Amino acid sequence: MKGIRWIVLACIFHLSVAVAGQDQDSVRSQHVKKFSDYFFAGMVLKKRDFTFELTSQSDKNARFSFKPNNAYSVGLFLNIFEVGVEASLSVPIDVKNQQRYGTSTSTDLQVNAISKSWILDAFHQRYSGFYFTSPNLVVPDNQPYPHRDDLETRNVGLSFSYIFNANKFSLRSAYTFTEKQRMSRGSFLFSYILSSFDLHADSALVEKASLASFGQGSNSNDLRFTSLGIGPGYSYNFVVKNFFLNLTLSAGPAHYWIRYTDENGNIFYDIRINGFTVGRVGIGYNGDRFFGGLSYSSQSRDVKFEEVIFNNSIGTFRLMLGYRFKEKGILQKRAIDYSPLPKRG
User: What pLDDT is attached to residue 8?
Assistant: 38
Helix (H) / strand (E) containing 233: strand 220-240
Query: Residue 40 in 3-state DSSP?
Result: strand
Residue 201, classed as helix, strand or coil, is coil
Q: For residue 25, what pLDDT is reported?
A: 67
Residue ranges of the chain with per-residue pLDDT less than 70: 1-25, 81-84, 90-96, 329-345
Question: In this structure, which amino acid lies at residue 208?
Answer: K
Q: Please give the pLDDT value at position 281.
A: 97
* Contacts for 106 with CB less than 8 Å, ≥ 6 apart: 50, 68, 70, 125, 126, 127, 128
DSSP alpha helix (H) spans, the chain: 2-31, 95-101, 172-175, 211-214
State the chain's mean pLDDT as an integer. Answer: 82
Amino acid code (one letter) for 122: A
Angle at 306 between CA 224 and CA 54, to 5 degrees: 65
Element (H, E) at 293: strand 290-305
Check whether domain 35-338 has CATH 1.20.1050, yes or no: no
pLDDT of residue 244: 97
pLDDT digit string, tens, across residues 94-138? 545 778 888 888 887 777 788 889 888 888 888 999 998 888 888
DSSP tag of 115: -
Q: What is the pLDDT of residues 40-67, one digit of tens each?
A: 889 998 888 888 999 988 888 888 899 9
pLDDT at 331: 54
Among residues 107, 45, 108, the alpha carbon closest in space to that of 76 is found at: 45
Q: Using alpha carbons, select from 283, 174, 183, 178 the residue that is nearest to residue 239.
A: 183
